[in-house]
Structure 1
Amino acid sequence: MADIILHQYATSPFSEKVRLLLGAKGLAWQAVEIPAILPKPDLLALTGGYRRTPVMQVGADIYCDTALICEVIDTLAPSPPLYPPAQAAVARVMAAWFDSALFTAAATYVFQPDGVASMLGHLSPAQVQAFVADRKAMRGDTNALRMPPPEATAQLHETFGRLETQFAAGVEHVAGPLLSVADFSLYHNLWFIRRAGALAQMLEAYPRLQAWYARMNTFGHGRPRVVGGEQAIGVALSADPVALDEGVREGEGLQPGDAVTITPTDYARDPVAGVLLALGPHRVTLRRQDPRAGALNVHFPRQGYQVRRAA
């Protein structure tokens, strides 16, 4: 198996989701510490414009979005399985909701005034201003990551209360009796809230949820080794992208070889341009060429991304 390289930063909750998964799988991996805000020249050389965190690299193949990253890691290291057959559908649906709706509530809750000092207190005023401007630009004119704080707090309490009841009934994991991807998607929300200083006290009302969190936390982060962005680009340049033969699903109106753009449908709508290689029900892949990194396959989940013919 080629080395896994995770482009991430320490305080990123979605990076923590993947770091914990790598720990659960007992994997060695390489970590590239990227900036929390633009510019990200080394990362964008690999992705072509996609700037969400994290991004996973295996040779000259670049995987965007933790929904897809988790699937790829599970394929590379199947034990313990992330998608137990009897729970696979519900686990995927729950994970998607935790990563979107619940994370929106968690981010709104955490970035109330009482939480900002804990989350951003290590930054200078100029750095805080730059961070806020970057996140505002990511949202654009959408309502993503915008929710009235009382509604966000209510949503968190309702979700955590229902999970507390489920754990009290003897169910050990989020989507059923077995560990699944849903556990990791819930985990990073709690990890995020726990960093919010006094605001983290809300979790004290849910002792069984906290016990579940403690069990998950024992997975650790596997065996990471820090490498530089230039080194990761060199790995891509010296590798060949994986050959694909998936084709394009009928009804999409596109063909392999078409020039396309791929853009998230919610926020951080930075399009990635390239040549379409594969477009199926679960994944879309394009080929792009970068002066520094060479030929690359860039992979996205089908859900949550818009594929358009390039102008």
Structure 2
Amino acid sequence: MDSIILHHYPPSLFSEKVRVLLGYLGLPWQSVIIPPMMPRPHLMPLSGGYRKTPIMQIGADIFCDTEIICRTLSAMSDQTDIYAPGFNAERIARWADTELFKITVALNFRPEAIAAQMSQMSASDLEAFQKDRAELAGGQALVSISPDAALAEFQVLMDQLSHSLHQPFLFGETPCIADFSVYHCLWFVAGNAANARLFDPWPAVRAFVERMQAFQTNAWEDLSAESALEIGKAAEPRLSRKGQSINPSLANGLTAGTAVSVEPNDYGRIPVTGTLQSWTPHAIVIEREDPIAETIAVHFPSIGFEVSRA
């Protein structure tokens, strides 16, 4: 099988979720560092325009959104099943990736947190980054909660989490998908110098973050964006052609080969177009012909994305 390639950048919180999972599962991977903002000329031919980070690549198969990335990695590993706890753990993971994420972003938009961030970025870079994110949001507010409200909610949630950590991880002695999703949000807060002290009242939560972070290893190889594009161009979609299936109750009349567009239903609503190959309870797969990357299969999770006729 082709190597796992992760397109990411170091401060990306959703990328941290995948990096730590890769370490936990013991899977080797290749690292492509992408710019935190557009343009990304070597990635867009592979993703079809999808802009959120990270993106995982296996040959000519492209995986968008950490929900499908993590599920695919779990299936590739014979060490553990991070989905074993079932529905409750998966709903906590979804809550963390959406609601807790919003709270942590708002915390990093507090004036003191922005000041700490600006110490690592020039004023022009910060302005460009904020403009890029505004374009990604498509006119919607990325921060939908005030910093003061976010701080109050965060304190309540951390108090609840601290009193729930009777075992090393949320559902027992080993981590599951809920741990990875909660972790990356907390890591994002802890990584800001002005926000790191927010964990001081809850040493159990800080210890949980440290346990999760310890799974990250250096078991990757650096790869250039140009090389990753060439790998995708030279390969043929493989994973998308294993167990192809269209679930009629999900597809609402769409059939294999139908021209469709797929886009997130929250923000970054940039449609990716292609022909429908598969739609199961866990994945939507389309195949697209790109003038640069040639034949590429793009995988999305079934939850959080909308499909329509192109």
Q: TM-score range by the shorter chain?
A: over 0.9
1:33 aligned partner: 33
Which of 237, 241, 256 is equivalent to 1:241?
237
| Displacement after TM superposition at 1:142 (Å) | 2.7
Cα distance in 2 for residues equivalent to 1:158 and 1:80: 32
1:154 aligned partner: 152
| Displacement after TM superposition at 1:244 (Å) | 4.0
What secondary structure is seen at the aligned counterpart in 2 of 1:205? coil
2:132 aligned partner: 134
RMSD between aligned residues: 1.4
Partner AA of 2:154 in structure 1: L
2:48 aligned partner: 48
| Displacement after TM superposition at 1:81 (Å) | 2.2
Partner AA of 1:200 in structure 2: A
| Displacement after TM superposition at 1:177 (Å) | 4.4
Cα distance in 1 for residues equivalent to 2:167 and 2:112: 34
Contact (CA 8 Å) 2:262, 2:271: kept in 1 or not? yes
What secondary structure is seen at the aligned counterpart in 2 of 1:198? coil
2:216 aligned partner: 220
Residues 292-303 of structure 1: pairs in structure 2 closer than 5 A: 292-303=292-303
Residues 44-193 of structure 1: pairs in structure 2 closer than 5 A: 44-84=44-84, 87-167=85-165, 170-193=166-189
| Displacement after TM superposition at 1:246 (Å) | 2.7
1:208 aligned partner: 204
| Displacement after TM superposition at 1:74 (Å) | 0.4
Contact (CA 8 Å) 1:193, 1:200: kept in 2 or not? yes
Residue-by-residue CA offset, 1:96-120 (whole Å, 9 max, x unaligned): 1101100100000012111113224
| Displacement after TM superposition at 1:213 (Å) | 1.5
Cα distance in 1 for residues equivalent to 2:281 and 2:141: 27
Cα distance in 1 for residues equivalent to 2:301 and 2:156: 29
| Displacement after TM superposition at 1:91 (Å) | 1.2
Residue ranges of structure 1 left out of the alignment (5+ in a row): none
| Displacement after TM superposition at 1:281 (Å) | 2.0
Cα distance in 2 for residues equivalent to 1:223 and 1:117: 34
Query: How many residue pairs are counted as aligned between the two chains?
Result: 306
| Displacement after TM superposition at 1:178 (Å) | 3.4
TM score, norm. by length of structure 2? 0.95
Cα distance in 1 for residues equivalent to 2:119 and 2:54: 23
Cα distance in 1 for residues equivalent to 2:89 and 2:302: 17
Residue 282, structure 1, aligned to residue 278, structure 2: no
Partner AA of 1:198 in structure 2: A
Contact (CA 8 Å) 2:109, 2:147: kept in 1 or not? no
CA pair 278-226 structure 1, distance change in 2 beyond 3 A: same
Partner AA of 1:164 in structure 2: S
TM score, norm. by length of structure 1? 0.94
What secondary structure is seen at the aligned counterpart in 2 of 1:191? helix
Cα distance in 1 for residues equivalent to 2:173 and 2:86: 12
Cα distance in 2 for residues equivalent to 1:18 and 1:245: 25
| Displacement after TM superposition at 1:236 (Å) | 1.0
Amino-acid identity (%): 37
1:16 aligned partner: 16
Cα distance in 1 for residues equivalent to 2:132 and 2:171: 35
